[in-house]
Chains A and B, each alone.
Chain A
Amino acid sequence: MSILVNKDTKVIVQGFTGKEGSFHAEQCIAYGTNIVGGVTPNKGGQEHLGKPVFNTVAQAVQATDATVSMIFVPPAFVGDAVMEAADAGIELAVIITEGAPVKDMMYAKMYATKKGMKTIGPNCPGIITAQECKIGIMPGNIFKKGNVGLISKSGTLTYEGANQVCNEGFGITTAVGIGGDPIIGLSYLQLLPMFEADEETEAIVMIGEIGGDLEIQAAKYIKENITKPVVAFIAGQTAPKGKRMGHAGAIVSGGAGTAKEKMEALEAAGVKVVVSPAEIGKAVKEVLSK
Chain B
Amino acid sequence: MNIHEYQAKQIFAQYGVPTPKGIMAESVDDAVKAAEELGGPIWVVKAQIHAGGRGLGGGVKLAKSIDEVRTLADEILGMTLVTHQTGPEGKLVQKLYIEDGADIKDEFYLGIVLDRAKEMPVIMASTEGGMEIEKVAEETPEKIIKVAVDPTIGFQGFHGRELVFGLGITDKDEQRKFIKFASNLFQIYMDKDVELIEINPLIRTGAGDFLALDGKMGFDDSALGRHKDIEAMRDESEEDADEKEAAQYGLSYISLDGEIGCMVNGAGLAMGTMDTINYVGGTPANFLDVGGKATAETVAKGFEIILKNPKVKAIFVNIFGGIVRCDRIANGILEATKMVDVKVPVIVRLDGTNAPEAAEILKNAKIDNVIAATDLLDGATKSVEAAKGVK
Contact = CB atoms under 8 A, between A and B. Distances in A.
Interface of A: 75-76, 99-104, 106-107, 109-110, 125, 137-139, 141-142, 152-157, 159-160, 163, 180, 182-183, 207, 209-214, 217, 233, 235-240, 242-243, 245-250, 254-255, 259, 275-279
B323 interface: yes
Nearest to B325: A139
Nearest to B269: A156
B380 interface: yes
30 contacts: A76-B225, A102-B193, A102-B195, A106-B119, A137-B322, A139-B321, A139-B353, A156-B265, A159-B322, A183-B114, A212-B117, A213-B117, A214-B116, A217-B117, A238-B284, A239-B271, A239-B274, A240-B256, A243-B287, A245-B254, A246-B270, A246-B289, A248-B222, A275-B275, A275-B279, A276-B280, A277-B272, A277-B276, A278-B375, A279-B377
B223 interface: yes
B275 A238 contact: yes
Given A102-B195, A139-B352, A276 B275 contact: yes
Contact of B116 (A139, A155, A212): A212
Nearest to A233: B272
Contacts of B270: 245-246
Nearest to A125: B322
Interface string B319-361: 0111100000000000000000000000000011100000000
Contacts of A243: 254, 287
Given A154-B268, A235-B268, A160 B376 contact: yes
Contacts of A141: 353
Contacts of B271: 154, 209-210, 235-236, 238-239, 245-246, 250
Nearest to A207: B268
A243 to B, nearest CB: 5
Contacts of B193: 101-103
B114 A182 contact: yes
Nearest to B251: A246
Nearest to B257: A240
Nearest to B137: A254
Contacts of A278: 276, 279, 375-377, 380
A278 B114 CA distance: 33
Given A180-B268, A183-B119, 18 more contacts: A76-B225, A101-B226, A103-B190, A103-B193, A106-B119, A106-B151, A125-B322, A139-B321, A153-B268, A154-B269, A159-B320, A160-B320, A182-B116, A207-B268, A238-B275, A245-B271, A246-B266, A255-B138
A116 B373 CA distance: 47
